[in-house]
Structure 1
């Protein structure tokens, strides 16, 4: 006795056209075409541009796509990753970053992490655990508030004050420790100082007695796409080791940025030379 598949027209009655179009739209993005415009998506899907705008609005609201290039184009959002963390392992960022995390861990002997931002949260996408006893509650996939964490501050560096206000429209930010900024303006001033410094080192910002060193990872466009950091019991940091550890973290972040094709802008040449 054989089981036959239902005829094609019988299968069609179970198809949800909007869902099908949304999934087809997501499938148009690739490693070669990371950004696409609504007009280009409408052409490829052979549907009216108004339909594509509705699909994009829905997917953007759910975090599956996000705007880029001043809102004219779209790219995949972090919600795509939440469909399954097996996909995380295949990302260029984590593939390139994991060996660097392992090397940094071996150099400083403390846990090292790589995180990205998803809206108002940071998401841990890779970690390297130290053999030293160290109580850590974070795993790949752990989400923490961006504004209240050192790694999150790094990931907010590129945002303007208006963009931060759009992300945090409330008048007072949720407080997690004495160090948490209370307002968007206070947060903006803090992350701009971090940006000028090029790294963050702070004790007890999110958890008491825990110090974090973090530095930005940038892609070929210069955008901060991840934060690379080390987590250390504050009482164990020797002052004479701090500078060396900071430079190691910054070096690992800079190396990952280079692997992502980031090229720092060249300093201006002195006037009259050349």
Structure 2
């Protein structure tokens, strides 16, 4: 449902409208052209253009002073494209896992210090859960989150964990930094992780990382089900399958598994 216009932030709305002025036919526009088109004061337009240029969303042609779209937009566009490619290549594998176990499969993608669910496939036995496509997941107490965090570059991990504000959702939620670090070490050794009722009572999840060609996690996949069905024997079977599937998806991103992995 569309948001009320009363909730819009005017400066952000104007900046986005400026970006939307550009097209293939009009790849370069001047300050006056943009101001007239959007019925804005020239000084206001120039201020927004200067901000967008400073952030890399626009760049200025030194010969004519006109602006054109910057590389930052290209970078963000590639992320969207990448996310869609990852979803397309992962879907057949997710469906096979769901067909085999009858539980819910998730695909998540890293976005800074969080992960976002970009796909979800439910099986015949699936129980209702709060996850949904487009929703962000906690990185320290969900299977998809921990699987991603464990295989990020060390500097990134340090930056993220020092800013985590731990919340205790269940009795099993990790709320201690040292405990989290130990958990990440275990995950790196096993190459999969378990969310044992850490975010939701009665729900257990097995997850594995999706790696890129740099051997860095970019996402994760998981199988989630009720603890009544996710006993140790079943978790062991799922963990083997989900690691295999995660590697196959990772290979589509250029990842090459080494013998010590």
> Do the two structures share a fold, i.e. TM-score over 0.5?
yes
Following TM superposition, by how much is the alpha carbon of 1:239 offset from its aligned partner in structure 2, in angstroms? 4.1
- Is this contact kept in 2: 1:150–1:206, CA < 8 A? no
Tell me the TM-score normalized by structure 2: 0.69
Query: What is the count of residue pairs matched by the alignment?
Result: 215
Unaligned runs of 5+ in 2: 1-29, 39-44, 63-69
The equivalent of 1:233 in structure 2 is 226
Following TM superposition, by how much is the alpha carbon of 1:230 offset from its aligned partner in structure 2, in angstroms? 0.2
Unaligned runs of 5+ in 1: 1-7, 28-41, 48-54, 66-74, 82-86, 269-274
d(CA) in 2 for partners of 1:204, 1:133: 16
Equivalent position SS for 1:250: helix
CA RMSD of aligned residues (A): 3.4
- Is this contact kept in 1: 2:103–2:126, CA < 8 A? no
Q: How does 1:186-197 map to 2 (within 5 A)?
A: 186-197=179-190
d(CA) in 1 for partners of 2:193, 2:137: 17
Say if 2:94 is the partner of 1:101.
yes
The equivalent of 2:34 in structure 1 is 12
The 1:189–1:239 alpha-carbon spacing in structure 2 relative to 1, beyond 3 Å, is closer
The 1:212–1:99 alpha-carbon spacing in structure 2 relative to 1, beyond 3 Å, is same
- Is this contact kept in 2: 1:110–1:231, CA < 8 A? yes
The 1:17–1:162 alpha-carbon spacing in structure 2 relative to 1, beyond 3 Å, is closer
- Is this contact kept in 2: 1:117–1:146, CA < 8 A? no
The equivalent of 2:241 in structure 1 is 248
The equivalent of 1:72 in structure 2 is none
Say if 2:113 is the partner of 1:120.
yes
Tell me the TM-score normalized by structure 1: 0.66
The 1:162–1:196 alpha-carbon spacing in structure 2 relative to 1, beyond 3 Å, is same
- Is this contact kept in 1: 2:139–2:146, CA < 8 A? yes
